[in-house]
Amino acid sequence: MKRTAGKLADGREIIYFDDSPDAPPRVAVDTRDLPRTRPLSEVRRDPLTGEWVAMAAHRQTRTYKPPADLCPLCPSTPDMPTEVPEADYDVVVFENRFPSFAPDVPELPSTVDGMPMVARAAGRGRCEVVCFTSDHTTSFGSLPVSRVRTVVDAWADRTTALNAVPGVEQVFPFENRGEEIGVTLHHPHGQIYGYPFVTPRTERMLAVAADHLSAHGTHLMGDVLAAERAAGARVVGSSEHWTAYVPAAARWPVEVHVVPHRQVPDLPALTAAERDDFAHLYLSVLHRLDALYQRPLPYIAAWHQAPARVGRDLAWLHLEVFSVLRTADKLKYLAGSESGMGVWVNDATPEQIAERLRG
């Protein structure tokens, strides 16, 4: 892989990750006349739950479902400069022009007016866009193994870099696919968030893992993985270094966890062999997901990594892929129980989901 860093017209960083070390130089200049962005992100703590809520009103003006010939993630042409100045690319990462979190947001009062119980802070962090290919019409599941491997290296590179950004507490690479998920740009891409706090889901998982370690002396995810592999009923696919399975308490109508056999805190800790192996298994999983309803499956692919500074001995890297599609033409809506109380009701058992995916 070849890595080349540069700057866009408004000062944002852009980084090219080429499949081959012999790729041509990335020297194209962003010719657009762009003003520097001034994000106004902030976070407020919910006094009833203790959870942070991010607010980024400037994102209301972000690009929304442009036609293919105006896609800002495609390579630039003489008549259409985009976010990527080059005429072609393999994988590219750049700072989001409409970030939920940013490194240079202004200071704010420490509480909300008249409510000392509601803590408030600048939404300092970093948000990046990851374009998986220059081909607007393809998908992650259609990429060659070699390209998926480059993407993994890019995720690992950015995790290391964002973990070192002052104020960033957790790095979250993810992909949203499909309009049913809320995607507004159809070019194959994902994002990486550098949060200024440890997310509620991760805090909860680390607390449960700590309790399990104290009670049993073993890693919780390791015990879950061993049990899933032994039972086999929910396993969708496996390889030398990874296993993909539907979790025994799956929340979503389609949900698969892809877990390394070795306890590692995050993507940078994976060996070259583990990264190669993941690329093969993950493509197999995505092919099964698209075959489930004989249509492109809308999904979210979310990497669970250790926070930058806490819980790294408890975390076990894994990828969670899930979909809101419960049949070929019906969505799973998060209604009263899920949205109001956080209690999930699934319309299928994990064993049924796994059997359909294996088939």
DSSP string, 131-166: E--S-TT--GGGS-HHHHHHHHHHHHHHHHHHHTST
Contact yes or no for 303/174 (Cβ under 8 A): yes
User: What one-letter code names the amino acid at 140?
Assistant: F
Q: Which residue has the tokens 């809520």?
A: 53
Looking at residue 84, the DSSP 8-state letter turns out to be B
Q: Which residue has the tokens 């489930």?
A: 292
Question: Among residues 189, 212, 257, 304, which one is catalytic?
Answer: 189
- Check if 261 is active-site: no
Report how far residue 8's alpha carbon sits from residue 114's, in angstroms, rounded to the nearest whole number.
41
Report how far residue 124's alpha carbon sits from residue 193's, in angstroms, rounded to the nearest whole number.
11
CB burial of residue 193 (10 Å; 0-12, 13-18, 19+): buried
What is the rounded radius of gyration, in angstroms, for the C-alpha atoms of the chain? 21
DSSP string, 243-275: EEE--TT--SSEEEEEEESS--SSGGG--HHHH
Q: Can you state the angle between helices 350-358 and 272-292, rounded to 10 degrees?
A: 100
Catalytic positions, please? Answer: 189
